[in-house]
Amino acid sequence: MRQVSNGADLGRLVGYQLKRVQAALRSAMDAALRPHDLTTPQYACLELLDQRPGLSNAELARGAFVTRQSMNVLLRNLEDAGLVERPASAPQGRALPTTLTAEGRARLVAARGDVLEIEQRMTAHLDAEQADLLLGHLERMTDALDPRPRDSPTLT
């Protein structure tokens, strides 16, 4: 035997390459957002709010893949910075609907260009068909891992 029956080459695992891309992407986004005084989770939160105004803390947390507690402190920071607004009391239930302020929208628009440029650079070698295929594969991979139906703040 030439190999001690090692597992498959790590680089051949989709999981490893996923982690690798995501690390590079996160690093690139942090660098691009720093001049805008935003972190990557903060930017994600602003994007979610722009797309679906009035999302609650818990819904934002699920959309950004963090816990409610993490999103709560993140929202407090954004609130202190004047980028988002929350009513003092819940209009119904306990959920506090969050919305972007004018400044929040402005900061988002300013940062979005730089972030989209990274997305473009990352997927530059893919044509439209390949990109669609890739997106489909990624979604199906998530569904295969996470049996939950997802109330999907990302969907229409």
Partner DNA sequence: AACCCTATGTCAAACTGTTGACATGAGGCA
Partner DNA sequence: TGCCTCATGTCAACAGTTTGACATAGGGTT
Q: Where along the sequence are the contacts to a second copy (CB under 8 A)? A: 6-25, 27-29, 47-48, 50-51, 65, 112, 115-116, 118-119, 121-126, 130-131, 134-135, 137-142, 144-146, 154-155
Alpha-carbon distances of 4 from 1, 10, 16, 70, rounded to whole Å:
7, 15, 21, 44
CB of 72 to a second copy, least distance (A): 18
* Residue list 105-144, contact with DNA (CB under 7 A): none
Chain Cα centroid distance, residue 149: 19
CB of 127 to a second copy, least distance (A): 11
Q: DSSP for 54-66?
A: T--HHHHHHHHTS
Alpha-carbon distances of 132 from 39, 76, 126, rounded to whole Å:
28, 36, 9
Q: Is 68 in the site for DNA (CB under 7 A)?
A: yes
Q: Which residue in the set 47, 50, 81, 95 belongs to the binding site for DNA (CB under 7 A)?
A: 95
Nearest to 29 by CA among 122, 154, 137: 122
Q: Which residue in the set 48, 78, 96, 111 belongs to the binding site for DNA (CB under 7 A)?
A: 96
Residues lying near DNA in the complex (CB under 7 A) are found at 39, 41, 56-59, 65-70, 72-74, 90, 92-96
